[in-house]
């Protein structure tokens, strides 16, 4: 999810990136993936701290199955967007 968040951020899909970051964030992930820490800082800057926290906090209301479905949906959307750009 941390990698997905970083990719979505790089694609300019900030709200989806913030939501994915909320699923992935813990001290170990942030320490192990320095890019993830930069992604979170960028998202807080772009979206504002309150919006980022709201989106990242949505994980608290989702089951693991819903989180997985969300991730697959975002991957499908990103793939479609990249395919459209490459045509």
Sequence-distant (6+) residues with CB within 8 A of 8 are 14, 16, 17, 20, 74, 78
Condensed to tens digits (0 to 9), the pLDDT of residues 26-47 reads: 888 888 898 999 999 999 999 9
pLDDT at 58: 82
The whole-chain average pLDDT of the chain stands at 92
**Distances from the Cα of 41 to the Cα of 53, 55, 57, angstroms:** 12, 14, 16
How far apart are the C-alpha atoms of 21 and 9, rounded to whole Å?
A: 10
pTM: predicted TM-score of the whole model, two decimal places: 0.87
Q: How confident is the model at residue 85 (pLDDT cuts 50, 70, 90)?
A: confident
Q: Where are the domains of the chain?
A: 2-86
């Amino acid at each position: 999810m941390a990698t997905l968040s970083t990719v979505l951020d790089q694609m300019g899909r900030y709200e989806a990136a913030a939501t994915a970051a909320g699923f992935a964030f813990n001290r170990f992930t942030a320490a192990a993936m320095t890019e993830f820490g930069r992604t979170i800082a960028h998202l807080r800057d772009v979206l504002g701290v309150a919006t980022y926290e709201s989106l990242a906090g949505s994980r608290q209301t989702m089951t693991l199955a819903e989180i997985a479905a969300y991730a697959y949906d975002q991957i499908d959307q990103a793939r479609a967007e990249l395919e459209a750009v490459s045509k």
